[in-house]
Amino acid sequence: MNSHPDPKPADPAPADPMTPSDVAAPATAESATLRTKPNRHFPFLSRHPWVLATAIASPRTAAASSSKTSQQKEQRTHEKQDGSLAASDGAIQSSPADQTPGDVDDLAPTVGESVELLDHDGNWIARGLCNPASRLRLRLYSYSRDQEINDALFAQRIDEAVARRRLTPAANLSSAGERLIFSESDRISGLIVDRYADCLSIQFTAAALLSRGPFLIEEVLKAAEKYNTPCARVIARVDAATARHEGITAEQIAEVESWSRGISSPPVTGAGDSSEVISSEADTVWYHHNDLEMAIDLRDGQKTGGYLDQQANHAEAARYMSGRRVLDICTYTGGFALAAAQGGASEVIGVDSSEKALEMARRNARKNSLDQVQFERADCFDDLKARGTRKETFDAVILDPPRFAGARRQVDAALRAYGRLNMSALDLLPPGGILVTCSCSGHVSRADFLNMLVDAGRKRQRDIVILQSRGPSPDHPCAVSCPESDYLKCVIAQVQ
């Protein structure tokens, strides 16, 4: 399971109770406000769940705009004759932004503070939690003036998220892996909850939620019990990338980890090398990943420990692997590789740059008695190039690289990298071979990814026939107001 830009502005929606009115919303002394830059408010009318710092007007600009707008509205109210035209509520704007330019710097919201989002003219749009240290300056949770951001709101959305996973019967509920809460897709931006058998892995990706952390965990446990979801252990975590982007300190990370339950003490450091971290066996959880038994490292595994978003794709890709020699690039703990072996592949080679991940992959292979799988450590680009130089061939090549584009400005470079990977894979495939190629970069659209594949086929003079174009597993829903939540692309194709 992820530096998000604003999507392209949508057409303004018709006025309804959830969109701003033509009258500026009065703000109380307790309400901090932020204004968008001119014409940067359209995505938030469509309920996009976060606001980048680049979309927000500076306090001085907002104050000047507010002063001008207020003067214009006040002038309009004085154009009445004989009291025949009364000033309407909000015609004269009252907001902290109405301070003089010399005062506005003292009005910056603090981390986790509830903030009213206004458009450039002062019309109310939404309400969110602020983080002045983050590029995602404001995470939006309410689009109704009547809905405050409070414990009741989060409790309701946590309950709704877990209930959403029970809309269809779940197989192997006691031992399966699943995503219970998916941040923006479940209207709780900054919170991700995965379940591995009886263990919940809770990841905070927004500093603005940390002050509510213990409460949110309690509500997750309540919802898990209500919907018969096994839960004996909890691990709470903040990954290093999130800490950097959100301005989360080491002390705050330690506090988050202290919210864990039923997990071993923090891992100890090896005597010979201060950088060597030894994880306790208590940090490892076995769960059923489709028909495989898989282990994940709760403390130091990527994301929340595993890649549940690919679970359905592992099973589907395996259907094409019977009798084939398979190369799985960026295998991590062996998801695609082990599924291919279980699906009847004659030989599988899994490649990854992380020795720790490969050790877990080998352990998973032994647990499932899949002797036809071997794992090798190498850089994905270097490995593909070397195999091409040696004229190796495979009946199937699987590409599941990490995210190449963390921001929109990186999309072009990411597409070039995807192109190099896929062209190298095409070099290893004979006519009739199977290519499984994935992208988890949310800023790379599905159309751009497919166009990259077209270009790779053209440059290698190969025809690529798409058998399936897939997304993440069903427990990773997509919010239509947040196109970035439709982040995972998985194409299964035959190459001629």
Predicted pLDDT at 318: 99
DSSP class of residue 152 equals: H
pLDDT in tens, the chain (496 residues): 443 443 333 333 333 433 443 334 444 446 799 999 999 999 999 999 999 999 999 865 555 555 554 444 444 434 333 332 222 233 223 344 444 333 334 457 899 999 999 999 999 999 999 999 999 999 999 999 999 999 999 999 999 999 999 998 876 678 899 999 999 999 999 999 999 999 999 999 999 999 999 999 999 999 999 999 999 999 999 999 999 999 999 999 999 999 998 765 443 333 333 323 323 455 788 999 999 999 988 776 665 567 899 999 999 999 999 999 999 999 999 999 999 999 999 999 999 999 999 999 999 999 999 999 999 999 999 999 999 999 999 999 999 999 999 888 999 999 999 999 999 999 999 999 999 999 999 999 999 999 999 999 999 999 999 999 999 999 999 999 999 999 999 999 999 9
Does one domain contain both 76 and 174? no
- Residue 420: count of CB within 10 angstroms of its CB: 15
- Whether 359 is covered by a domain: the verdict is yes
Domain with residue 435: its CATH number is 3.40.50.150
- Classify residue 378 as exposed, middle or buried by CB count within 10 Å of its CB (0-12, 13-18, 19+): middle
Number of domains in the chain: 3
Single residue among 149, 178, 199 that ends a domain in this structure = 149
- Whether 104 is covered by a domain: the verdict is yes
199 as an active site residue: the answer is no
Predicted pLDDT at 104: 39
Does one domain contain both 145 and 190? no
Single residue among 149, 183, 200 that ends a domain in this structure = 149
- Whether 15 is covered by a domain: the verdict is no
- Whether 27 is covered by a domain: the verdict is no
DSSP class of residue 363 equals: H
Choosing from 130, 330, 380, 440, the catalytic residue is 440
Does one domain contain both 237 and 338? no
Q: Give the up-direction half-sphere exposure of residue 5: CA atoms within 13 A in the CB hemisphere.
A: 14
Does one domain contain both 397 and 368? yes
Structure tokens at 52: 């980048």
- Whether 123 is covered by a domain: the verdict is yes
Does one domain contain both 111 and 192? no
Does one domain contain both 199 and 142? no
Predicted pLDDT at 307: 86
Q: Position of tokens 């002394």?
A: 29
Rounded CA-CA distance 448/478 in Å is 18
Domain with residue 115: its CATH number is 2.30.130.10
Per 3-state DSSP, the chain is made up of helix, strand and coil in percentages (nearest 5) of 35, 20, 45
- Whether 232 is covered by a domain: the verdict is yes
Q: Mention every residue, 6+ apart, whose C-beta is less than 8 A from residue 305.
A: 194, 196, 201, 285, 296, 297, 298
Euclidean distance between the first and the last CA atom of the chain, given in angstroms as a whole number: 33
List the one residue out of 356, 349, 352 whose CA is nearest residue 326: 349
Between the alpha carbon of residue 432 and those of residues 60, 322, 463, the distances in Å are 63, 14, 10
Does one domain contain both 213 and 282? yes
Does one domain contain both 232 and 300? yes
List the one residue out of 442, 438, 480, 419 whose CA is nearest residue 313: 438
Does one domain contain both 67 and 189? no
Predicted pLDDT at 487: 95
Predicted pLDDT at 407: 85
Beta strands in 440-486, from DSSP E residues, in sequence order: 464-470
Does one domain contain both 228 and 360? no
Domain with residue 249: its CATH number is 3.30.750.80
Edge-first strand order for the sheet with 114-118 is 32-35, 114-118, 124-130, 136-142, 50-52
- Whether 4 is covered by a domain: the verdict is no
Q: Say what angle helices 446-460 and 411-428 make with each other, to 10 degrees.
A: 40
- The boundaries of the domain holding residue 121 are 32-149
Does one domain contain both 208 and 311? no
Predicted pLDDT at 284: 84
Amino acid identity of 264? S
Does one domain contain both 340 and 287? no
Kindly give the pairing relationship between strand 433-439 and strand 396-399: parallel
- Whether 83 is covered by a domain: the verdict is yes
